[in-house]
Amino acid sequence: MEPYTNNTTGNHETPSQSAKRLLGKVAVITGGARGIGAATAKLFAENGAHVVIADVLDELGATVAESIGGRYIHCDVSKEEEVESAIEEAVRWKGRVDVMVNNAGVLGPEGSITRLNMEEVNKVMSVNLMGTLHGIKHAARAMVEGGTGGSIICTSSSAAIIGGLGSHEYTMSKAAVVGVVRSAACELGAKGIRVNCVLPHGVATEMLLVGYRRFWKADMTAEEVREEVGQRGSLLRGRGGTEEDVAHASVFLASDESGFVTAHNLVVDGGYTSADSSLHFIYY
């Protein structure tokens, strides 16, 4: 059996007007200035959405927003009032919010649980968990007031369901996001609001590169990370994950195609969390 060699980079044709899956929808994306967030913002726009990017990386965020005909607002998600302002920006611009993508996140320092710095733990939780909670709260308020339902998508991680893939505080925060999503989905479903998680694995974002450079090689490139994931962290041998892979998952969850999907964890991991990828050799 030959290894899988389709190293897809996420290139795709812009959909025609009739095929646009998010046509006219209004979306807010936190952490949308780069990485998975930026890829999601671009793909949303290509599919007809009006996008507000909320981030602390002002220059990058404004550039991405301008390139897709969207809006940019400075937003530290750990501060509830700034998340509320991002939602209000979308309402002022287009009159409503249809989609909220809670994507902003931080990695946190590595280290033994016996030596955790609780201030650092709180910093990670304030962004990864509380930032997500702020987004759910204020997006849901706007959606309820709009009366037409909506889709809230939260970026968790494969670290939420497998131990040892991230720092203790990162793992804890991402696992907590899964719990909050399930809880929120139970309440908000009655209002026509769907709440779901996307769980990426092994995507060579700037954040993952920091981790690999810390423990593997100081000058490791994104392409080298993708190759490593493709060989050791994926059932699709030779195929690592891309930011666009996660963006496509979010487009599905934002679209009406997923109208009966809520409280769900959509794992984008090349099968890594479902089977032991080291057992490829059995079949050769």
Q: Residue 215: pLDDT band by 50, 70, 90 thresholds? A: low
Residues forming the active site? 170
- pTM of the predicted model as reported, rounded to 2 decimal places: 0.89
In a domain, 223, yes or no: no
142: in domain: yes
- In a domain? residue 4: no
Residue 233 lies in a domain: no
CATH code, domain carrying 144:
3.40.50.720
Count of structural domains, the chain: 1
Residue 253 phi, psi dihedral angles, 5° rounding: -70, -25
d(Cα 110, Cα 164) in Å, to the nearest integer? 11
Retrieve residue 224's tokens.
Answer: 């080298």
Domain of residue 181: give its range.
20-203+242-271
CA–CA separation, 140 and 154 (whole Å): 13
Assess whether pLDDT exceeds 70 at residue 12: no
In a domain, 171, yes or no: yes
Q: pLDDT grade, residue 108 (50/70/90)?
A: confident
Tell me the per-residue pLDDT of 1-10, one tens digit each, with 9 for 90 and over: 344 344 444 4
Any domain includes 65: yes
